Amino acid sequence: MTVEAEIVRALGGLVDGRVYPDTAPEGTQLPFIVYQQVGGSPLEFLAGVPDKKNGRFQIEVWSKRRAEASGLIRQVEDIVRTDSVLLATTLAGALGTYDDVLNWYGARQDFSIWFSS
């Protein structure tokens, strides 16, 4: 399974499977989670290609209420850090956000995840 599929597997239970890469489809019910790879720490060997890759993944939650968004991002952190496949490390604390056009509350956090190439 790809690291992206593992993220969906690990977090899907929080939002009834509404976990999407990059952006949610139009009309998606709140709350939902989006994720994207926003960098990483490459490994470089003099001989051969490493069997692991590192990705910096940003995971973002969206909700109609601040309390729900804040609670969801805390659950996301707990899950990705303890999931037996992802074993992510936290790169930064959660950051709250607000979309004043849609009237949505969000929170996002960055994680480092090692995965098979």
Look up the CATH number of domain 3-116: 3.30.70.1700
The pLDDT score that the predictor gives to residue 117 is: 66
Closest by alpha carbon to 70, among 112, 105, 19? 105
Mean pLDDT of the chain: 91
The rounded distance, in Å, linking the Cα atoms of 72 and 15 is: 9
Interval 9-59: pLDDT, tens: 999 999 999 999 999 999 999 999 999 998 776 666 556 555 778 889 999
